[in-house]
Amino acid sequence: MISKLLGLITHDVGIDLGTANTLIHVRGKGIVIRQPSVVARAKKGKAVLAVGEEAKKMLGKTPATIEAIKPLRGGVIADFDATAAMLKHWIKVIHTGSSWFPKIPRPRVAVGIPSGVTEVERRAVQQAALSAGAREAFLVEEPMASAIGSKIPVTEASGHIIVDIGGGTTEIAVISLGGIVVNKSLRVAGEEMTDSLVGFSRSKYGLIIGENTAEEMKIKIGSAAPIDKEEKNLVFVARGRDLETGLPKSVKFSSNEVREALSQVVNQIVYAVSETIEETPPELISDLIKHGLIMTGGGSQLKGLTKLLADQIKMPVWLAENPMETVVRGCAVVLENPELLNRVKVVGGLR
């Protein structure tokens, strides 16, 4: 009776701990947190002042006594304390307790991680989740979680290929029988696209722009392949500081220029996908052609990317429904299916 009551009080939580954004799914409630992975804290004492959207607004604008940081880089923890504080904040927000029953069990948590991380990096993510208040923390590789979240039948004896382009990493995996047959994990993704625009602006126009400006430019007029005729004249006015004079300066960027700036990063991803297919066992190739390639993650929404990739790999390419949510939804699904969780988890255990 007590165990049943505790199960009703506590919540299973799926977490996509991304370099750019953190998404949290609560069992029975859906996705309740969708916030930037940013923490603002006092430099002295490290007291957390803001988390998520509020902290992101502070990037590049803080006084000497405050720092606004992204605690994850390349899909892994760069600042353990900030990551733990961020997770603790969100878990506290979503995990409701009961005043009449003081010893409420902490939530079970499943976290998506890049497939290429080291054992030390895996343990750091698990420990951060446990430190934030989880009673159990399981880790699932992002391409597997993304495939499950995309409703791909991962346990069947059939091959599927998925490409998850996040903020810090690009995950490419061929999945069959509940396991990853071939995979590549690149620390080249959405943030590198943004950085390439910052560098392009600086080198071509002597204009220093911020990360948020470059991100907005990428979203509004960025593309991986030539866009429709009616959209060819798209422009974006970027405002920043002149490299030589240090004074304010505005420059108009065309969609063609932005595509040129993004091409190096995009080509790295396309090449890695081609290499993964080349390494796939022949028996699975026919399955891949039949099912096509599924793209997920925020970076996969770059205009023209699915078309470019389809042209290069000679097979259908599909953009998943709600591509930014597939990892967190996959983490939520495995928590509800113990047998599937045991097959796909890479780390898991009690506090």
- Residue 19: strand, helix, or coil: coil
Architecture of domain 2-144+326-350: 2-Layer Sandwich (3.30)
The number of beta carbons lying within 10 Å of the beta carbon of residue 182 is 19
Output the DSSP codes for 204-256: HH-EE--HHHHHHHHHHH-BSS---GGGTT-EEEEEEEETTT-SEEEEEEEHH
> Residue 77 and residue 114: Cα distance in Å, rounded?
11
The domain segmentation of the chain, as residue ranges, is: 2-144+326-350, 147-188+265-323, 190-262
At position 233, the amino acid (one-letter code) is N
Closest among 347, 302, 276 to 127, alpha carbons compared: 347
Confidence category of residue 105, pLDDT binned at 50, 70, 90:
low
pLDDT attached to residue 73: 86
Output the DSSP codes for 100-143: T---PPPPEEEEEE-TT--HHHHHHHHHHHHHTT-SEEEEEEHH
Same fold, 147-188+265-323 and 190-262: no
> Residue 73 and residue 56: Cα distance in Å, rounded?
15
Give pTM, 2 decimals.
0.87
Instruction: Give the model confidence (pLDDT) of 178-218 as tens digits.
Output: 999 999 999 899 999 999 999 999 999 999 998 889 999 99
Instruction: Give the model confidence (pLDDT) of 265-277 as tens digits.
Output: 999 999 999 999 9
Output the DSSP codes for 131-199: HTT-SEEEEEEHHHHHHHHTT--TTSSS-EEEEEE-SS-EEEEEEETTEEEEEEEES-SHHHHHHHHHH
Confidence category of residue 290, pLDDT binned at 50, 70, 90:
very high
pLDDT attached to residue 211: 87
Tokens 């006084």 -> residue: 63
Q: Which residues are bridge partners to 143 per DSSP?
A: none
Beta-strand runs (E) in 247-316 = 248-254, 293-296
- Cα Rg, the chain, nearest whole Å: 21
- Pick the most confident of 28-37, 114-123, 196-205: 196-205
Tokens 């967190």 -> residue: 328
pLDDT attached to residue 103: 47
Q: Are 197 and 188 in contact (CB under 8 A)?
A: no
Distances (CA, A) of 27 to 13, 95, 338: 6, 11, 14
Confidence category of residue 115, pLDDT binned at 50, 70, 90:
confident
Confidence category of residue 101, pLDDT binned at 50, 70, 90:
very low
Architecture of domain 190-262: Alpha-Beta Complex (3.90)
Q: Which residues are bridge partners to 138 per DSSP?
A: 110, 348
Q: Residue 113: is its pLDDT beyond 70?
A: yes
Architecture of domain 147-188+265-323: 2-Layer Sandwich (3.30)
> Residue 120 and residue 38: Cα distance in Å, rounded?
23
At position 255, the amino acid (one-letter code) is S
Percentage of the residues of the chain whose pLDDT score is greater than 70: 91
- Between strands 13-17 and 136-141, the pairing is unpaired
pLDDT attached to residue 334: 94
Percentage of the residues of the chain whose pLDDT score is greater than 90: 66
Q: Are 292 and 315 in contact (CB under 8 A)?
A: yes
CB neighbours of 231 closer than 8 A, spacing ≥ 6? 255
Q: What is the mean pLDDT of the chain?
A: 88
Confidence category of residue 96, pLDDT binned at 50, 70, 90:
low
